[in-house]
Chains A and B, each alone.
Chain A
């Protein structure tokens, strides 16, 4: 089997005296959509932030494309990993277009950047309509599109998403997840963490269940969807 694109081995993270991750191991293969589900405080965001170098990795390894991933965020982005942070974190005083250009910051080739701008506008035509508006004036769904588009502007091989469904209406969540499927179809590998377990499992190929800083369950998403432990803890009753 081919080497995974991202491999997290025995990763631990502590905040002061509190240990947020206890030796987490997981992997993402090229072309996959992988989700990590878990309750609030399980360590899902910490996992992504540790991969990005936002929080210090206390021990363990993060291997990307066969090489250890650097420890500083800007170097991680340069390697081809980008994050759509929790709560979107768009730059509201900048225009939509400027937000997207910030996403392309580490890149030099203006022609390639222009092409990717067209690509992102193609994925999210709403952003093109509003490209000169201040990002702060966008609706929640549009801001999420912008946050995803901004992360794509670095041309990542691996896109990390932290709770993309947070605070969005169900119909918008469906739209966003449909776009993620399309982005994945265009060759971007995706790792997303979600509290919205059902949507995340329906979108992804494989899933991990994170509980108080440990991976307690993993498998194909379609299997997790019908796993009694998962349904009881994260999915509630299935509608008949």
Chain B
């Protein structure tokens, strides 16, 4: 019983970090209709900015976190401007964007291999990881609870931004029909930059937590493949879908690790992807592709 509760909390906690990354995939997909595989790079950029700020400027997680979010957001906007904008202004074929994003993910990863070196780094101990007893029922780590709370705060913030703000409304309109959104007096390039900035920021939050969980290295971005699977399971382009898909994935992973074998967790994750693609390719909350022209 204790183990089950513990694994459930771990699963939801891991899932909530996936969700921070998965919503970034979904946001970008909803507007530009391609899977941005450079997204993992934004996470790594956020992680390294946090690491270097902590080691150089001292152990203030608020400053480091803030700079990390800002830096990853700007990096995401620059990536879009440099690699995607010239393509999307010339063609409607999103496959080119997907290929460019694969290229950018390799570029970002290797910039860090050259500049920071390939070795694994641990963030200074600014995020507590000590065990916490929950109502005498079970034991979990403060880190898991913290990542759950932080992810919840950021996802709620995103939801409020999308539903309540003027630019959020514009993003929802653009997600349905980007071209017509431009006719409404919306500066489409600015809107796309905002979307990338938000996606990059959320990736950085995920990146900080993943660096604590698994240590930081240039290939850490590879882990976003799981967040991508979560976004597909939930339905690419749908934000609630990305969150639900991430929780399902996190739980499946942790329950497999806890009760079957930790070596099987990736097998379960990718089986979920295969099953989704076979049974309901649009995912749980996905839009029908016919809605988009």
Contacts and interface: CB of A to CB of B under 8 A. Distances in A.
Contacts of A89: 177, 180, 183
B176 A91 contact: yes
Interface in A24-72: 52, 54, 72
A15 interface: no
A14 to B, nearest CB: 16
Nearest to A160: B183
Nearest to A154: B185
Given A89-B177, A91-B176, A94-B176, A74 B169 contact: no
A83 interface: yes
B242 interface: no
Contacts of A235: none
A74 B173 contact: no
Contacts of A74: 182, 185-188
Contacts of B177: 89, 91
Interface string A81-101: 011010001011110001001
Contacts of A78: 185
Contacts of A154: 184-185
A79 to B, nearest CB: 10
Interface stretch (A102-110, A172-180, A188-196): A102-110
B229 to A, nearest CB: 25
A150 interface: yes
Contacts of B184: 77, 102-103, 105, 150, 154
Contacts, number: 60
Interface in B155-187: 166, 169-170, 172-173, 176-177, 179-187
Contacts of B188: 73-74
Given A102-B169, A105-B166, A105-B170, A92 B176 contact: yes
A154 B186 CA distance: 11
Nearest to B188: A74
Nearest to B167: A105
B172 A101 contact: no
Contact of A85 (B173, B180, B185): B180
B185 A106 contact: yes
B173 A102 contact: yes
A98 B187 CA distance: 18
Contact of B182 (A73, A91, A92, A93): A73
Contacts of B179: 54
Contacts of A72: 187
Contact of B183 (A73, A93, A101): A73
Nearest to B179: A54
A134 B188 CA distance: 23
A98 B176 CA distance: 13
Interface string B203-218: 0000000000000000
Contacts of A82: 183, 185
A102 B168 CA distance: 11
A150 to B, nearest CB: 7
A85 B183 contact: yes
Contacts of B180: 85, 89, 91
Given A54-B179, A89-B180, A105-B166, A94 B173 contact: yes
Given A54-B179, A92-B176, A94-B176, A101 B186 contact: no
Contacts of A150: 184
Contacts of B186: 74, 102, 105-106
Interface in B190-226: none
A78 B186 CA distance: 10
Contacts of A92: 176
Nearest to A98: B169
Contacts of A93: 172, 176
Contacts of A106: 185-186
Given A89-B180, A91-B177, A94-B176, A101 B169 contact: yes
Nearest 8 interchain pairs by C-beta: A77-B185, A106-B185, A89-B180, A73-B182, A74-B187, A91-B173, A105-B185, A74-B185
Interface of B: 166, 169-170, 172-173, 176-177, 179-188
26 contacts: A54-B179, A54-B182, A73-B183, A73-B185, A73-B188, A74-B182, A74-B188, A77-B183, A77-B185, A78-B185, A83-B183, A85-B183, A91-B177, A92-B176, A94-B176, A102-B169, A102-B173, A102-B184, A102-B186, A103-B184, A105-B166, A105-B169, A105-B185, A106-B185, A106-B186, A150-B184
Given A91-B172, A101-B169, A105-B184, 6 more contacts: A52-B183, A73-B188, A74-B186, A77-B184, A91-B180, A103-B184
